[in-house]
Homo-oligomer: A and B are copies of this chain.
Amino acid sequence: MPGQVQSIARAAAILRLLASSSGRLGIGEIARSLNLPKGTAHGIIRTLQDVGFVEQDKTSGKYQLGATLLHLGTSYLDVNELRSRSINWADPLAARSGEAVRIGTLLDGKVLVVHHVFRPDDILQTLDVGSLLPPHATALGKVLLAYDVGAANAATQREPEPYTRRTLVTARALTRALSEIRDNGWGAEIGEMTPGEAGIAAPIRGYGGLVVGAIGLSGPVDRTCDGSGNPRPALVTYVRDAARAVSRDLGATRW
């Protein structure tokens, strides 16, 4: 793998920086964060501005992400095969289970939501397509980690952030959970991200059997789990069936 194009890599770093720090940044802050000379950073940002990837607030002079990126992002959704194949199966799953359905894939060790179907009964939900979820505290994330050794190692390396009392924070607990998921072929999360909320997810396989994503539902514990605190078997079956159906659509055989 020969070297990267320096300026493009730097431009991408600037965009990611702007995205992560959610807000406007001055050119000085950007240059300092990335150890770049101010002049260099300015040249890059100026071209990014010319192509519409960043915008400048005229009063404060600070920079933020540009509108073109929004369009590029949704264009990605149109092309994404995982999403397009999933849509047909996500709606029935939401209807049958009565819960919100999400489809995610791994991006930089986190879960990128590529599709989201609202819970049928409720309207007041915020769409979170495009947002990143923590891998260790969601059903989608744990399933994805279970079938991606690289990401799983990275996740167990650094201390996982605790969201609730039930969040898996130790490497041992997480590793065991992933192993269980591999044995069962599905995974769950009960109050590990938000108290009282639970999720069930199963892996989606693409051509060749490789896991390319995961589909799952989430909802209140008292609806998604039975009396003994385990995920309702009927819901698990629904999720696994949906995952299998999407996998078949993607060209995976015998799953």
Contact = CB atoms under 8 A, between A and B. Distances in A.
A34 interface: no
Contact of A72 (B1, B15, B50, B75): B15
Given A23-B79, A79-B24, A131 B8 contact: no
A82 to B, nearest CB: 10
Interface in A6-32: 7-9, 11-13, 15-16, 18-20, 22-24
Interface in A47-93: 47-48, 50-53, 59, 64-80
A160 interface: no
Q: Which of A70, A77, A129 has the most CB of B within 10 A?
A: A70
Interface of A: 1-2, 4-5, 7-9, 11-13, 15-16, 18-20, 22-24, 43-44, 46-48, 50-53, 59, 64-80, 105, 107-108, 112, 114, 120, 123, 127, 129-132, 207
A47 to B, nearest CB: 4
A127 B130 contact: no
A5 B5 contact: no
Contacts of A51: 8-9, 12-13, 16
A83 B126 CA distance: 14
Contact of A70 (B12, B20, B76): B76
A72 B15 CA distance: 8
Contact of A75 (B22, B48, B129): B22
Q: Which 6 A-B pairs have the closest CB atoms?
A: A73-B73, A74-B130, A19-B75, A12-B51, A65-B76, A4-B47
